[in-house]
Structure 1
Amino acid sequence: MTTIDRDTPVLSLRSRLGRWDAKLSPYLYVAPFFVLFALTGLFPLLYTAFVATQDWDLIRNSGTFVGLQNFADVLSHRQFWIALRNTFSIFALSTIPQLIAAVTIAALLDRNLRAKTFWRMGVLLPYVVAPVAVALIFSNLFGDDYGLINNTLRDLGLNPIGWHTEPLASHVAIATMVNFRWTGYNTLILLAAMQAVPRELYEAAAIDGAGRLRQFLTVTIPQLRATLVFVVITATIGGLQVFDEPRMFDSGGTGGPDQQWLTVTMYLYNLGWGQFDFGRAASVAWILFLLIVAFGLVNLAITSRIASTEGRRS
């Protein structure tokens, strides 16, 4: 005869459902992100890798396997290396000044200003301006024959600058457009991180005799390390994928007569929708992806080394 242990609690159906809810709810909450990522991120990435190994026919929506031949063709193409050089040049001219300006403006906005909400929202206005509008604005500034800068130089008796003929000048003009749009966005991210820094640290530094500049270098910057890493990574991703500004820098959108400002993404676009060579276009996309991953790993290694060095010093 079976006996029932009266000390063993018997869970009701409601209690069991409550336990299942506590265990499964976190996974259900985060599941939509991973589903969307798989559909819009992971699947296109893997499909692009598949197309990169094919001699792809858009009409038949199929291809012939060619292995790594598309990668070899791209790496042997002189135009790709010109585009890569231009991309890194524009990236350096935009990212470095952009981060310096963003940190400086964020530090100024972190102080007690009158109408500080107005100024903080004002720095975001360039970000919401459409890229086409930005191109129209800066075309009047960097025009070779009618631009404001060249007209001013002529009035001063100086030689005009070939914004659309000289590689470095065109890179500076495009980098200025990029900085105009994205500096305010990064400023607000850094400002939010600055406001999270405990004020007791500034008070202690002031008691020790540190001035504003010293407080900024020894208190603010170290506390912003994690945010700066995030901003640097996002700026790197955006800088290496720059497309809108160089595409609209002239009416043709070809990167200049001698490819002075042709970027990797423009080169990819021209292969895909100009020559309909989707196999090589997909291989360019994967090369760019690997470059971004490499930059991210290098940045992670540098920041980890800096953090470990400061930890040993402390």
Structure 2
Amino acid sequence: MTVQLDARPPATPASGSPRQSSGRLSRFDTRFSPYLYIAPFFLIFGIFGAYPLAYTFWVSLHDWDLLGADHPFIGAENYTRLLADTDFWHALVNTLGIFVISTVPQLLAALWLANLLNRGLRARTGWRMAVLVPNVTSTAAVAIVFGVLFGREFGMINWLLDLVGMDPIGWKSNRFASWVAISAMVDWRWTGYNALILLAAMQAIPRDLYEAAAIDGASRARQFWSVTVPLLKPTIIFCTIIATIGGLQLFTEPRMFHSGTNPIRGGPLRESQTLTMYMFENAFAPHYNFGYGSAVAWLLFALIAIVAAVNVLILRRLGGGNRPQKGAAR
């Protein structure tokens, strides 16, 4: 018996068939859907972020009086005038001084607090919620309370200093003392926020690393510096950048701290006037020079970028790689 084989090639799906359409749709979804998902962010950022930033730079090149109709182009004159202004340099020193005094203790305290909350405390959920309370408190209310605490005549801080035999400090009239008072206010508000971010990163560290370090004889402090801190480096960098951006843009805290004496100037002698306060003073009342204020804003933007980049470079060089080195816990 002879069996005749069918030598015809298998039928291919016709063009436009449901199978081909499904394959093209799948390839389109794989290739382009991620861009569609992130497109809303870039659209909103372009409208409310990139465009105002570029327009502010354009305004900084003009003599832009908010009360006038004409805005003549003057080039870099606002910037040259700004760099020769002693009030600008005074505000810059204030900004950097408050930033250093507030940011370094804030991050160190947040790291210590996160490590403490990572332990087996009783009612630890309540403690973790409690550290966020200062951050959700109204900034105006915090400034009023701290203004009373650091009052010269009836403030609690000077009362405590008097108990130990120290003279009262003029927290609102002395330049460095006002830096310390404002830094204490900033640290009280933001330490718990950074601590929760660091705590979340700590809980993602594998427990077997700590067990291996304990077997090698490492103490709890040695485990913290040799295991926890190296693995927290990306999160520490993130917190540092966020603290840098916020610390160099302080406005509400110093303004409310001097609410009774020239608040926008940071005190009678500009004891704690920051760059944002100086920008507000020139862009709005009493000067209404929006072009000059825009120049201040752009120099502040450049300062934030430079300081953030320096912080990232320093933190990346400290402590080696992101993983603990072999034998580091011994």
TM-score when scaled to structure 2?
Answer: 0.89
Deviation per CA, 1:276-299: give whole Å up to 9, x if none: 011110000000100111112222
| 1:234 paired residue number | 242
Measured after TM superposition, the shift of residue 18 of structure 1 is 3.8
Aligned residue among 278, 283, 292 for 1:272: 283
Q: 1:156 to 1:108 in 2, by over 3 A?
A: closer
- Confirm whether residue 153 of structure 1 aligns to residue 161 of structure 2: yes
Contact 2:230 2:322 in 1 (8 A): no
| 2:4 paired residue number | none
What is the number of equivalent residue pairs in this alignment?
311
**One-letter amino acid of the structure 1 residue matched with residue 302 of structure 2:** L
Aligned positions of 1:284-299 closer than 5 A: 284-299=296-311
| 2:47 paired residue number | 39
Aligned residue among 143, 150, 163 for 2:171: 163
Task: Look at both structures and tell me which one has the larger radius of gyration over its CA atoms.
Answer: 2
Aligned residue among 167, 182, 201 for 1:174: 182
Measured after TM superposition, the shift of residue 305 of structure 1 is 3.7
TM-score when scaled to structure 1?
Answer: 0.93
Secondary structure class of the residue paired with 1:30: helix
| Alpha-carbon distance in structure 2 between the residues aligned to 1:114 and 1:61 | 65
Secondary structure class of the residue paired with 1:48: helix
**One-letter amino acid of the structure 2 residue matched with residue 164 of structure 1:** K
Measured after TM superposition, the shift of residue 164 of structure 1 is 1.0
- Confirm whether residue 126 of structure 1 aligns to residue 131 of structure 2: no
Measured after TM superposition, the shift of residue 156 of structure 1 is 4.8
Measured after TM superposition, the shift of residue 310 of structure 1 is 8.0
Aligned residue among 258, 268, 286 for 1:257: 268
Bigger shift: residues 202-211 or 252-261: 252-261
| Alpha-carbon distance in structure 2 between the residues aligned to 1:117 and 1:183 | 17
| Alpha-carbon distance in structure 2 between the residues aligned to 1:61 and 1:114 | 65
Secondary structure class of the residue paired with 1:233: helix
Measured after TM superposition, the shift of residue 27 of structure 1 is 1.1
Root-mean-square deviation (CA), in Å?
2.2
| Alpha-carbon distance in structure 2 between the residues aligned to 1:199 and 1:242 | 39
- Confirm whether residue 12 of structure 1 aligns to residue 17 of structure 2: yes
> What runs of 5+ residues in structure 1 fail to find an aligned partner?
none
Deviation per CA, 1:58-99: give whole Å up to 9, x if none: 245651111110001111000000000011110011000000
Aligned positions of 1:90-129 closer than 5 A: 90-129=98-137
| 1:206 paired residue number | 214
| Alpha-carbon distance in structure 2 between the residues aligned to 1:60 and 1:148 | 48
Identity across matched positions, percent: 50
Deviation per CA, 1:22-74: give whole Å up to 9, x if none: 33221111000000110111011100000010001324565111111000111
